[in-house]
Structure 1
Amino acid sequence: MRSTTRSFGDAAAPRAVNVIDTPGLFDMNASTTEDARKEIAKCMDLSKDGIHAMLLVFSAATRFSDEDVNTVASIKMFFGDSISNHMILVFTNGDQVGESTLKKMLSNKRARYLQELVRLCAHRVVLFDNRTSDAACQQQQLKKLLEAVDSVISDTDEVHGRQKEIDVEGYTAEEMSQSKKDMYDQYLMLITKMVI
């Protein structure tokens, strides 16, 4: 697992993007219980200030597998069902598949789980040609991805804003801070128990 911060945009609209890459984190078959527990603890520490968006990356050139279904189920188990409000589906191998083929794949009646996942993610789907060296194409893909991230932030800020108005009335800043710490500690204990 690694965490990276990278700046994007032009001088008029710069932005920093923090990325936590978790290869195989939710593949419980690939790791020992101890390794999984350590990686989950790292992930929780890196994301303790909150997650704006979670990218689920799949290959568009291969079938959506049972392993992919299990990965999504594990993510929902660790972060709760509301994590789908933050999810963006990213499909790689756009050079092999193309936009129209991806749309057919996502609308295929036999791919019910995939259709449900797209619905849960509020139809936030981005196709990447990860082999292109065309700078304009790379910029366009990045723009689409950041638009999807902005959509997540906008949608979740609306919900969190209303929730904060309700929750913070009558509590001191210290009480709120302690409450957040207690919830985080309980969440960490719950996740550790799930992995053991």
Structure 2
Amino acid sequence: MAASGTQSELRLVVLGPIKPGNRTAVCSILGLEESQRDAEAQECTKHRGEAAGRQVVVVSSPAWYASACSPDERRTHISSLIASSSPGPHAFLLCVPVNEPARDESMALDALAKLFGPAAVSQHTVILFTHTEELGEDETLEQYVVTWRKDLRQLVERCGDRYHTLESGGGGAAEEGRAVEELLEKVEQAVKESGGNHLSCPLYREAEDRVRQLQTEIIRQRSANSSASDSQQEVTEQEMEAVREEAERSTGDFDLNLDDIFPSDDKSVSPSSAPPSLLRGLWEKLVGWVRWLPSLVRVEALFGALVGLFVGGTMGGTVGATVGSVATEVSRRKTEKTK
């Protein structure tokens, strides 16, 4: 039984919130029009097609690792992701906006390592940067990450220094096509370095067993309901794929011990436990202040430290370090302009 597609098929899992940057990633890889995807989808979706001469399956998953996601939603999203990408993805593509702090994305890597093993991060994850239009005109993505964003640099290092962007900067279809081809080449290189196989672990082996069992049951049930002559007909590859996807959707939730990965949130009110929307708004305001207050350019590090103290917790350290970097960059650019 052809349970999981051809051997040459690349399975990719795009992780990230359902928003334009990540929808564009999926559409770019498979050459889909935006109208072909449900812009309001809040569940895992699966697309199959051809990209740069390769057969590709792209599973798009919501940001179940975000603190705003409820435990029940998180379990459902992860279970759906596992079933849809069984018997295991060749790569996770973690969407990371360059204009926001990377706290949730760091938690995502922690969760992937605990769910699927350390190799899921070190060998099978590529950081996919979005919103790169926010960078300066003469600033490359590499320069920005290496020089000014320690939090983003740490994400890349954890993923074996693999990162990419599909945003062509208005370069047109040809440049977008090259960006997709380069991404798939990086995925294939990562697969080669990991031994030439997709990610495999107990969860994915359990998922594949479930899917195959359900696939067999669905085919038997349909054969029993059909006429004798119809039941003797061979099942086509397209029919097998459709039955498999039906089986994937019917696997139900897996027995996941998520409490150790996502401890229950402390309901007490404190700066470190503020809602993500509040922290994101604070981030945007702070960046705006840095841009408009040149008097702070000589106290960049102090400013960043004060921000970190105000926000508090692990999040405070990340935001403080990043705001300090932004202030330093403002100082550098203003100095260059006055020369």
Question: Normalising by the residue count of structure 2, what TM-score does the alignment of the two structures yield?
Answer: 0.44
> Which string of whole-angstrom CA distances, capped at 9 and with x for unpartnered residues, describes residues 11-46 of structure 1?
xxx31111111122222x333222221111111111
Q: Taking structure 1 as reference, are residues 17 and 102 closer, same or farther at Cα in structure 2, changes over 3 Å only?
A: same
Is residue 21 of structure 1 aligned with residue 60 of structure 2?
yes
CA deviation map 1:25-72 (0-9, x unaligned): 222x33322222111111111122111011011122x03332222232
RMSD: 3.1
| Closer, same or farther: CA 128–67 of 1 in aligned 2, 3 Å | same
Shift of 1:142: 0.7
Amino acid at match of 2:105: D
Going from structure 1 to structure 2, the CA distance change for 1:184 and 1:25 (only over 3 Å counts) comes to: farther
Q: 1:147 pairs with 185, 202, 213, which one?
A: 185
Query: Residues of 2 paired with 1:110 and 1:15: CA distance?
Result: 34
In structure 1, what is the Cα distance between the partners aligned to 2:207 and 2:176?
Answer: 42
> Secondary structure in 2 aligned to 1:107?
helix
Query: Secondary structure, in 3 states, of the residue corresponding to 2:95?
Result: strand
- 1:101 & 1:182 partners in 2: Cα distance? 41
Q: How many residues align?
A: 169
What is the CA deviation profile of residues 113-162 of structure 1, one whole-angstrom value per residue up to 9, with x for unaligned ones? 4333222222211123266361111111111111111111111225x69x
Structure 1 residues 32 and 116: CA distance shift in structure 2, 3 A: closer
Equivalent runs, 1:38-53 vs 2, <5 Å: 38-53=76-91
Match of 1:101 in 2: 140
Higher Cα radius of gyration: 2
Counterpart of 1:174 in structure 2 is none
| Cα-to-partner distance string for 1:67-90 (whole Å, 9 max, x where unaligned) | 222232222222222111101111
Quick one: distance in 2 between partners of 1:124 and 1:108? 17
Q: Which residue identity does 1:8 align to in structure 2?
A: A
Q: With a CA cutoff of 8 Å and minimum separation of 6, indicate the structure with the bigger relative contact order.
A: 1
Which residue among 183, 189, 193 is the counterpart of 2:255? Answer: 189
What is the SS of the residue equivalent to 1:157? coil
Note the 1:27-176 alignment, pairs <5 A.
Answer: 27=66, 29-60=67-98, 62-84=99-121, 85-97=123-135, 100-108=139-147, 111=150, 113-129=151-167, 132=170, 134-158=172-196
Q: TM-score by structure 1 length?
A: 0.71
The structure richer in strand per residue is 1
Gaps of 5+ in 2: 1-43, 199-204, 211-253, 265-339
Is contact 1:93-1:130 (8 Å) kept? no
Q: Distance in 2 between matches of 1:99 and 1:87?
A: 28
